Structure 1
Amino acid sequence: MSTAPGSGASGGGTLAFVESPVQLLNVLEWAHADTLRAPAAEPAERARTPEPAADSGPPPPTVVVLAPTDPMTRGQLRRMSELARDEGMRVRWEEARGGATAPLRTIGSLAAELRRARRIVIGDPFSRYVQLLLTITRADELVVVDDGTATMEFIAQLARGERLVRWHRSGGRPGARDLAFAPFATRARRRLTPSDARTVEVFSSMPVEPPPEVTVTPNAFAWTRARFGPPRITRSADLVGTSLVETGVVDPDRYLEAVASLARDHRATRYFAHRRESAEKLRRLATETGLEVVRPDLPLELIARRGPIGRTILSFPSTVVHTLPLALAGTGVEVAVCDIDPDWLTEHASPRAQGFLSGVTGTARDVHRLQSVRTV
């Protein structure tokens, strides 16, 4: 177990589990919103009560980082952890994937805090790690913060009572590991279903239709807008990368052709890489398109808000077509989204892929829709 400076016990309060920079950003947004909506005392009660201390309000959550192995993700998580500590949060860094025995050590070290915590916040309900932890907790409040567009699929599967499966996973029968883990996944899904003894909240910037009794709180990126910017805006366009090639959904050659076409038509100069994009693909992209490839050290919402940022941001269907218009509200920056042509999909892509990606684009608010570019 590795405990970062500033960490501490949850003390029966709120325990948050994150595995990506975006999840930690949304824990910060949720904590900010939770503080703002804390009920104020009635006037008569305030008259009888001494003035509260300057740091009164809901205590900050303890954030447990279940560290991944990918270097880019780890780097962004380190930077996000610094921001969380600046906001008064206690951050505990767990090398949760550091060897064969790491999961058992991590879960064992967290068991006591899990049982004490009154409220659990998670960023990825599809994570087997998180699902295991949910089987231990006795918390009467569960909160799911956005892990990107996966939240849309999570809500849909929860409403239909289906097992939790990521949208880009191919169809077919479950494998041996899936079958072995099935009892834990089933129990975790039950924990994510509201009951008389437990409330479930989804804190989201995505367009979701929750099942009965699930509370949805809008994420307007108020913390991001208060903390950063407004940005300096350049005259050029910027292009946002995606990991659809790495997840086996989109053919790499078609993807590079589409990026080159978008860059040429809209005079884009920079390409903000997704943290999971491969170095080999990015080298090829820079050579073939002439774009400057930027590896952000923070989630793009914060990078864009700090600036400088292009007057137009071009993206394929992804989380940012929902989040950037909120983070950049009032700045005059236009977000434009290009649809994924069905011909770009690989033969290994999930049967659900095209419908899901179309839904991501179709439900985005305050974005300009571009027609799918043609590739040879």
Structure 2
Amino acid sequence: MTARAAARVRSGEKSRAIAFVESPVQLLNVLEWARVSTTGDALTVVVLSPTDPMSRGQLRRMAELARDEGFTVRWQEARGGAGAPLRTVRELAPLLRRTGRIVIGDPFSRYVQLLLTLVSGKELTVVDDGTATLEFIGQVARGEPLVRWHRRGGSRGPRELVLAPVTAVARRRLTPSGPRTVEVFTSMPVEEVPPGITVTANTFEWTRSTFGPPRIASGADMVGTSLVETGVVDGDQYTQAVLSLARAHGATRYFAHRRENVDKLHRLHAETGLEIVRPDLPLELIARRGPIGSTVLSFPSTVVHTLPLALAGTGVRVAVCDIAPEWLKETASPRAQGFLSGVTGTARDVHRLPRMPSPASGAPA
């Protein structure tokens, strides 16, 4: 254990900050925040455990890394049955009252929003949960409700109507007011910062100092996306695009997103011949640990922003292929195309690839 980690252990239960995370990437970015924050040494991490096995597995590995760094990690089975949410809120309430700063990884999470209704006057930090961070900042600046970018507009269902008061209170907590600021810790490019929001750059310093440098393999690797699972991109179009990219760039491995459907991954392997890799840690750590291809291919996603930072100085090229309009499902949000184009357009230190043709326009079978 390092001296810095030992100092964190000696801080004991006198936590000056509490972080709520629901995904492995959120926990990674909490560790990055703690590396540069003045209150990061006295941090308690609460894992609001999801139900899907891949996310749980990666979170357990990340929790081990956090404990190795000297942080207190509390694993909360927040979704373990009908009574779990109320039990979780009751158990966490004393910890919330004692802390001075609350760190959250997903301001759109209904669970996090519920917890935020229990506190007021606390300092708040939002760490990266991927490209959704950009949408969060924009919605706060415009005074809009907190809605994920891929959700289709229209009338709200019964669940949304019941939770509307919770979301409204959480939004007020996440909106700077008077002398109270909201910190956003992000690797995303934020061009217009709303008044009262303080942006701290996430440079992946902890990742680079803890892992690597990696061994660089010949050829290319491909990064998967859950755009099919979230109802944005048509599955047939996606499979064809992966096949075309793999053939054009000699890709041999496909790093699956933790939310990708097993049946979809089986189909990708059968039709493309790619080796499907299901990482046990966030891709930024997997890539930094290596081996990793000399080129990493991706569709618009968080990694086109984070991988160039995690792999800085290694010579690995990150290349991104835009989503063609015809790949989108009819039920996709009207905002999807513009949002995804913005993800690619604002990425730094990446190589832009031409869009893959759709099957209707003559793509190889």
Q: Please name the residue that 2:362 is paired with.
A: none
2:169 paired with 1:187 = yes
Q: Please name the residue that 1:145 is paired with.
A: 127
Q: CA deviation at 1:207?
A: 1.2
**Structure-1 separation of matches of 2:177 and 2:133:** 21
The alignment's TM-score, normalised by the length of structure 2, stands at: 0.93
Counterpart among 345, 353, 362 of residue 370 in structure 1: 353
Counterpart among 31, 34, 50 of residue 31 in structure 1: 34
Counterpart among 44, 48, 51 of residue 66 in structure 1: 48
**Structure-2 separation of matches of 1:257 and 1:193:** 43
Distance change in 2, residues 1:335/1:325 (3 Å): same
Query: Can you list the C-alpha shifts for 1:106-134, whole angstroms capped at 9, x where unaligned?
Result: 00100111111100000000000000111
**Structure-2 separation of matches of 1:374 and 1:309:** 27
Q: CA deviation at 1:197?
A: 5.1
SS of residue matched to 2:95 = helix
SS of residue matched to 1:195 = coil
Q: Please name the residue that 2:329 is paired with.
A: 346
Q: Please name the residue that 1:90 is paired with.
A: 72
Gap runs ≥5 in structure 2: 1-8, 360-365
2:243 paired with 1:260 = yes
2:281 paired with 1:298 = yes
Q: Is the 1:10–1:113 Cα contact (8 Å) retained in structure 2?
A: no
> What letter corresponds to residue 28 of structure 2 in structure 1?
L
**Structure-2 separation of matches of 1:107 and 1:197:** 28
Query: Can you list the C-alpha shifts for 1:70-126, whole angstroms capped at 9, x where unaligned?
Result: 000000000000000011110000000000110000001001111111000000000
**Structure-2 separation of matches of 1:16 and 1:9:** 15
Q: CA deviation at 1:12?
A: 5.0
Q: Is the 1:65–1:92 Cα contact (8 Å) retained in structure 2?
A: yes
Q: CA deviation at 1:11?
A: 3.0
**Structure-1 separation of matches of 2:12 and 2:183:** 23
2:303 paired with 1:320 = yes
2:42 paired with 1:17 = no
Q: CA deviation at 1:333?
A: 0.2
> What letter corresponds to residue 31 of structure 2 in structure 1?
L
Distance change in 2, residues 1:23/1:197 (3 Å): same
Counterpart among 181, 186, 192 of residue 204 in structure 1: 186
The alignment's TM-score, normalised by the length of structure 1, stands at: 0.91
Q: Please name the residue that 1:172 is paired with.
A: 154
Q: Is the 1:14–1:60 Cα contact (8 Å) retained in structure 2?
A: yes
2:90 paired with 1:116 = no
Distance change in 2, residues 1:305/1:237 (3 Å): same
Q: CA deviation at 1:33?
A: 1.2
Q: Please name the residue that 2:253 is paired with.
A: 270
**Structure-1 separation of matches of 2:87 and 2:223:** 38
Q: CA deviation at 1:10?
A: 4.8
Q: Is the 1:115–1:139 Cα contact (8 Å) retained in structure 2?
A: no
> What letter corresponds to residue 182 of structure 1 in structure 2?
A
Counterpart among 229, 239, 253 of residue 212 in structure 2: 229
SS of residue matched to 2:26 = helix
Query: Can you list the C-alpha shifts for 1:2-35, whole angstroms capped at 9, x where unaligned?
Result: xxxx9x985351100000000000000000011x
**Structure-1 separation of matches of 2:213 and 2:247:** 28
Q: Please name the residue that 1:131 is paired with.
A: 113
Distance change in 2, residues 1:216/1:107 (3 Å): same
> What letter corresponds to residue 347 of structure 1 in structure 2?
E
RMSD over aligned Cα atoms: 1.3
Query: Can you list the C-alpha shifts for 1:254-301, whole angstroms capped at 9, x where unaligned?
Result: 000000000000000000000000100000100100000000000000
Q: Please name the residue that 2:313 is paired with.
A: 330
**Structure-1 separation of matches of 2:36 and 2:69:** 13
Counterpart among 76, 89, 93 of residue 107 in structure 1: 89
Q: Is the 1:334–1:367 Cα contact (8 Å) retained in structure 2?
A: yes
Q: CA deviation at 1:244?
A: 0.2
Q: Is the 2:120–2:173 Cα contact (8 Å) retained in structure 1?
A: no
**Structure-2 separation of matches of 1:58 and 1:373:** 44
SS of residue matched to 2:285 = helix
**Structure-2 separation of matches of 1:253 and 1:82:** 38
> What letter corresponds to residue 15 of structure 1 in structure 2?
I
